[in-house]
Structures are given as structure tokens and as C-alpha cells.
Chains A and B, each alone.
Chain A
Amino acid sequence: MSLLEVKDLQVRVEEREILHGLSLTVNPGQVHAIMGPNGSGKSTLSHVIAGKPGYEVTGGQILFKGEDLLEMAPNERAAKGVFLAFQYPVEIPGVTTWNFLHAALNAQRKARGEDEISSPAFLKKVREVAKSLNIPQDMLKRGVNVGFSGGEKKRNEILQMALFEPAVCILDEMDSGLDIDALRIAADGVNALRSPERAMVVITHYQRLLNYIVPDVVHVMSKGRVVKSGGKELALELEESGYAQFEDAA
């Protein structure tokens, strides 16, 4: 069974249709890249998969391991194994990263009928992951993302991804705002999480990221549709010829 199946998805925001029948099938172990110019609907797709309010799904389906994802609250989706690394992670003053991650992890475990993770076990786990991503301990004591640089915020997203061990990871413009060193660290973090059971959907509008996270499948999105799919060479092709040809096609 495919892990994530988006079928003919139509989505409106404030009376305006943004996605016009988008389909996508992601199997375990795969890395899919979704490329497309600004405004083509990439973030909209990621938000609808994660369950952000404010989007009206007027047609189509999203199945996760065969279950109707659209019927689930965002937190249920997370507990089932859907993870979105946000393009713009928010700042949450007054809620320390430790606290937040501990509460979130336990909420997910509880929803799955698993035991809570104790503070010491949790600390150990977070420390290990933070170290591998070059995230200093004191960052974890601060409010979630408060005072973090763009790169630190992105690394904090990868940290959460590693901690929650989701089945499907959607990374929305993970590379934006990262210099080459930061990009490498973040990409290493993502690559370390690749596994035969897990799938990733890497959203970007630059080919550069795909040198570090090499995809199995590349989709080109334009104006709310997937207009072309292919292997990783499609990304290079795009790098040379740009998106213009697809804008006409859409």
C-alpha cells in the first residue's frame, strides 16, 4: 500500500481555487521532490496535508496508509506519523522548546496508546539529536524558536522530525534562508532519517537542495497542478530551462 495518496485534490482559500485537482502517490522508502515557482500552491498542499484550518477541500481525497486523512484533526495526523517541517516556523514565547517537545511527544504517544516517555529518557534522546544537528543545549531552554536565526529555526524543525520519527515527512522550503554550511547540516539530518519504511516529500523551488537530498521522483507543480513527473534528472533539466515552459502547459 502506498503511504500517502493525494487524489485529484481541489482546494479553495477564501473562495479562490488554489489546487485544481492535484494527484500524488508516495510509497515507503521514497523521496519525492515537488518543485515549482512561487505561488504554484506548494505550501497550500503541505498545509492541507497537515490539516491547517482555513482551507476548503472541494474535491478529491488524501489517504494516509489507506485512511482518510482529511477526517482527522491535525494532532491526530501527527500522532499517525505525518510531519510537516514548516516553511515559516512560528515563535512561541514563554513555552520552552524542552517543554513543548516533551508535551508534544507524549501527546503523540498517548494518542497511539503508548506509555509516556520519562523526563530523563526524553532529555537523553533530545540531547543526542540536538548534538547531531549542531543545536546548542541552551537553545532548547529558550522559548520555541524565539530569537532563533532562520537557520536555527530550520534545524529545530529537523530536530523535531528526528524526535517524532514520523512515517511521512513533508519539508516545505527547508533550504530557504540557509547558507551552504547550514544547508549541509540540515540535509545530513534529513538523509539520516531516510529509511525503507519512511517517505519524504521535499518541497523547493531551487534544484540546489536536491544535490544534498537526492530524490527518487521529481514533480513539477505549476498553478495548482502537477504538470510533469520524472526521475531526479528532471530537477537538473528544470535548472537549465526554468519553469516557463510549464507555466504555459498549465
Chain B
Amino acid sequence: MNVVAKTETGRALGDAFAVVRDRLPGKGKIADQRQQAFEAYERSGLPHRRIEDWKYTDLRALMREVLPLAPAPDAAALDRATAAIKLRAIDGVRRLVLVDGAFAADLSDLGSLEKGLSVRPLREVLDAGDAALSAQAFASDISNPMIALNGAMATDGVVIDIADGTVLTRPLHIVHVASGTAPVATFTRSLLRLGRDTGVTLVESYLAAEGAKAYQTHDGLIVAIGDNARLDHVRLVEDSVDAFNISSATVTLGAHAHFNTFGLTSGGHVSRYQLTVTCAGEGSKVETNGVNLINGKQHADTTLFMDHAVPHCASREIFRAVVDDRAHSVFQGRIIVRPDAQKTDAKMMTRALLLSDDAEADNKPELEIFADDVTCGHGATTGALDESLLFYMRARGLPEKEAQALLIQAFVGEAIETIASDALREVAIAAAQRWLEARA
């Protein structure tokens, strides 16, 4: 017997699908894939704490209502989005903007694309019926109910292709903006394909325009990194503290490919980022690092699944959580070393800093090693700021919050340091600084 007790929210999401399914882009095979994804979601409904992967992030308890699907942004929404983007603009990037889940061409930099770079809105790709591409955009793990739901509902996104041998110096920046028109849900999915011998930097940010408070962002990113290619990826979640951000990224690396990713979450009421990385080509290298800076009643979950499928690959993971007030940070890091993946070198280190007695940090590292000739390890610590350091700093004239800020910067600095680009490291430092200043 497989009786699933569904919550109101879970049912409402199902109803939402029934209402919009005929209006979703992509017909024929894509519609079938959406249907399958939706059925997969329906089988479990919203994930809850008795599902191992969702033990610390019980969406049935946290997600009390389902919001209506966002309407296409009107002129006023685009204006508010423009203002929000301006506040967080990054110099020298090619900006690709999604407002309320819809690609906003007018706010995006689509002029003079470099040779070998192609950028298209997902909706356009689906409407055009590019079967192979569409299939890839929807080929994700539907055993995860939230990824399945994202696949079923996705309305738009960005499809980026980097042709073999193309190295882009100008980073791409996908900006998700909630315009604040009404409390709405958005479902986006993006696809990034790097050909062989390519190199690119992708920044993703999640922002709220003035007035955008309670909204729900569901996003999925699918990445294929070709042989000898390198992707640098920086992800900044600065959603409204009343918003939900349920996102995933599924990344596959070819031979001798390199993936360096860094995520910083300081926004969102409830956020979950599920990152699945598969080393599918020998000699590939992965660095996944992240920082959570949360307070109030925020809940931020980073769940990493590192899959070593072939020999001679290396992965490094540095994660730092800074948790204040009654906030709750979750880090789950699972490393699988498959039987063939000899000479795997996988290490994971997570540390949490609790700034209040009511703050909580859960950390669940898991190593599943099926090969014998490997170097694997993980470590985790949880603690408070060192009182003797704080006193020393205060005795030199620093007010308590400033002394704490310096120690917190140092603490998250160990993860931020891993960002390869100087400019993007500064962007991450600035985001951490905004959080520190807001709490001072």
C-alpha cells in the first residue's frame, strides 16, 4: 500500500498544474515529459521529514500555501525589476534577466554575442520544438519531487550553448527577479551546455524588487561541461526574507573538465538548493563551496550530491554557515565513489558558526565508497565565536558587532577565497558585507 497523505499545499500544487498545463510551452513529447514529471511529483507530494533527504527541510510543515503561477510581467513590474537589478549590477557581465519567471529580453544584454555563444529563452526553444534540446532540458532526476515539479511547471528559462573551443571572457549573469506584483510562484529551468575546450563564468542571482515579499521561486539548472572545459559558477541568493527559493542544479563533467562553484545564501525565508554533480569523464575536477549567512527565522538548506562515477577525479567542498537568531542552516553532503572510480580524491569540510542560543545548524556528511584505492575524507565543526578573541578586539576599541563582523568575515572568507575571479570574489564579499551591515 502506498497511501500518501497530502497536505493542502501539496494538493493545491496539483490543481495548479491541471489549470496551467495546456498553457505551458512545448507540445507533444515535451507535454508527455511534463506529465511524467508531474505524476512523479504526485506520487510523493511535498517532501517531508520522513523522507531521508528532506529530514531537516520539511516542506509540508514549512510551505503552508501554494501561490498562483506568476502572470507575465507588465511594464510596471519590469520597471521595478530594472531598479532592483541596478542596485545589484555587476560590472562587465552579460546580463540575462528573468522577471517573475519570464525571460525579459529588453532587460537582457543580447547584443553582439561572441562567436560560439548562443542564448535563447527556454519558451522559444520549446515552442520551436527542438526535440533533442528540449529532451535535455527536461532530463533530470524526477525521483526528487521538487525537481519533478519544476520540470512539470517550468514556463521559461535560458538556454545557453557554448560551441567547442570557445572561451568567453565576459561572464554570463542570469538574474532572477521577483517584481512584487503579487505573491506568486515562478517555475524556471535553464540549460547550459559547454562544448569541449570551452571556458565560461556563470553568475546566478536571485533578487526581490521593492515590495516583493512572499513569493515562491522554483528554479532548475542543467549543466553539461564538455571534455577539457571549465565552468566557474557563482550563485547568490538574496531573495526577500519572506520568500521561498527551491532550486536545483544538475551538473555533469566530461573528461578533464573543471567545475568551480560557489554559492552564497543570505536571503529567502526557506531555501533549498540541491546540487548534483557527476564526474562522468576521467580526470575531472570539482570545487563546490558555499556560505550561508542567515538570521531571523530563515531556513537555508544546501544539499550536495557528489557522484564520482569514473577514476582519477577530484572534488573539494568547503562550506560555512553563519546562523543568528532562530535561523536554521542545513548542509547535507553526500559523496559517492562508484566501484570503477579508483584514484578518487574527495574531501569535504563544513563548519557552522552559531551566533545565538536559538540558532541551529544541521550537518549531514555521508561517504559511500565502493572503490578501494581512493582518498576521501570529511570533517565538520559547530561552534560559537571565540569569546577571548572578541574581548581582545573590544579591548582595542571595536564595538561588539564590529568585532563579530571581522571574525565572521574571516570565517566565511575561507570559502569565498575559492572563487577564482577577483571581481566575483569581490561581489561575494560585498554580499556578505551587506548581511553584516544589516545586522549591525
Quick one: which of A52, A53, A95, A104 contacts B397, CB cutoff 8 A?
A104
For A73, list chain B residues within 8 Å (CB).
394, 399-400
For B68, list chain A residues within 8 Å (CB).
none
The answer, yes or no, to whether A1 is at the interface (CB within 8 Å) is: no
The answer, yes or no, to whether B391 is at the interface (CB within 8 Å) is: yes
Stretch at the interface among B334-342, B349-357, B405-413: B405-413
B397 to A79, Cβ gap below 8 A?
Answer: yes
For A50, list chain B residues within 8 Å (CB).
395
The answer, yes or no, to whether A84 is at the interface (CB within 8 Å) is: yes
Stretch at the interface among A85-93, A225-233, A241-249: A85-93
Minimum Cβ distance to chain A for residue B85 (Å): 31
For B414, list chain A residues within 8 Å (CB).
94
The answer, yes or no, to whether A78 is at the interface (CB within 8 Å) is: yes
Provide the B126-141 mask, 1 if CB < 8 A to any CB of A, else 0.
0000000000000000
A107 to B399, Cβ gap below 8 A?
Answer: yes
**Interface hits, A80-108 → B, CB 8 Å:** 84, 86, 89-90, 92-95, 99-101, 103-105, 107-108
Interface size in chain A (residues, C-beta < 8 A) = 30
CA of A172 to CA of B410, assembled, Å? 28
A92 to B398, Cβ gap below 8 A?
Answer: no
Minimum Cβ distance to chain B for residue A43 (Å): 13
Provide the A141-180 mask, 1 if CB < 8 A to any CB of B, else 0.
0010000000000000000100010000000000000000
Provide the B275-315 mask, 1 if CB < 8 A to any CB of A, else 0.
00000000000000000000000000000000000000000
Interface residues of A (CB under 8 A from B): 50-53, 73-75, 77-79, 84, 86, 89-90, 92-95, 99-101, 103-105, 107-108, 111, 143, 160, 164
**Interface hits, B387-440 → A, CB 8 Å:** 387-389, 391-400, 402-403, 406-407, 409-411, 413-414
A100 to B387, Cβ gap below 8 A?
Answer: no
For B394, list chain A residues within 8 Å (CB).
51, 73-75, 78
B397 to A108, Cβ gap below 8 A?
Answer: yes
Seed contacts A77-B395, A104-B393, A164-B397; 10 additional CB < 8 Å A-B pairs: A53-B391, A75-B394, A86-B395, A92-B407, A94-B410, A95-B410, A100-B396, A101-B396, A107-B398, A107-B402
Minimum Cβ distance to chain B for residue A46 (Å): 10
A92 to B396, Cβ gap below 8 A?
Answer: no
B410 to A86, Cβ gap below 8 A?
Answer: no
For B389, list chain A residues within 8 Å (CB).
90, 92
Q: Which residue of B lies closest to A54 (CB)?
A: B387
Quick one: which of A92, A94, A107 contacts B392, CB cutoff 8 A?
A92
Quick one: which of A74, A86, A100 contacts B406, CB cutoff 8 A?
A100
Which of A79, A86, A99, A100: most chain B Cβ within 10 A?
Answer: A100
Q: Which residue of A lies closest to B388 (CB)?
A: A90
For A52, list chain B residues within 8 Å (CB).
391, 395
Task: Give 28 pairs: A residue, B residue, CB < 8 Å, sorted on A.
Answer: A53-B391, A73-B400, A74-B391, A74-B395, A75-B394, A75-B396, A75-B397, A75-B398, A78-B394, A78-B396, A79-B397, A86-B392, A86-B395, A89-B392, A90-B392, A92-B392, A92-B406, A93-B410, A94-B409, A94-B410, A94-B413, A100-B406, A101-B396, A103-B402, A103-B406, A104-B393, A104-B398, A143-B410
**Interface hits, B239-266 → A, CB 8 Å:** none
B392 to A53, Cβ gap below 8 A?
Answer: no
For A90, list chain B residues within 8 Å (CB).
386, 388-389, 392
Contacts A51-B394, A100-B393; is A75 near B400 (CB within 8 Å)? yes
Contacts A73-B400, A90-B388, A90-B389; is A95 near B395 (CB within 8 Å)? no
For B396, list chain A residues within 8 Å (CB).
75, 78, 100-101, 104, 108, 160, 164
Contacts A90-B388, A100-B406; is A105 near B397 (CB within 8 Å)? yes
Provide the B371-391 mask, 1 if CB < 8 A to any CB of A, else 0.
000000000000000111101
For A111, list chain B residues within 8 Å (CB).
397
CA of A238 to CA of B303, assembled, Å? 66
For B386, list chain A residues within 8 Å (CB).
90
A78 to B409, Cβ gap below 8 A?
Answer: no
Minimum Cβ distance to chain B for residue A101 (Å): 8
CA of A226 to CA of B155, assembled, Å? 79
For B410, list chain A residues within 8 Å (CB).
92-95, 143
For A78, list chain B residues within 8 Å (CB).
394-397
A53 to B395, Cβ gap below 8 A?
Answer: no
For A84, list chain B residues within 8 Å (CB).
395
The 9 closest A-B pairs by CB, nearest first: A94-B410, A108-B397, A78-B397, A74-B394, A104-B396, A107-B397, A75-B394, A104-B397, A90-B392
CA of A165 to CA of B387, assembled, Å? 25
B398 to A95, Cβ gap below 8 A?
Answer: no
CA of A52 to CA of B396, assembled, Å? 12
Quick one: which of A53, A94, A101 contacts B387, CB cutoff 8 A?
A53
Q: Which residue of B lies closest to A105 (CB)?
A: B397
Which of A95, A105, A111: most chain B Cβ within 10 A?
Answer: A95
Quick one: which of B388, B393, B411 contacts A94, CB cutoff 8 A?
B411
Minimum Cβ distance to chain B for residue A71 (Å): 15
CA of A74 to CA of B396, assembled, Å? 8
Minimum Cβ distance to chain A for residue B48 (Å): 39
For B413, list chain A residues within 8 Å (CB).
94
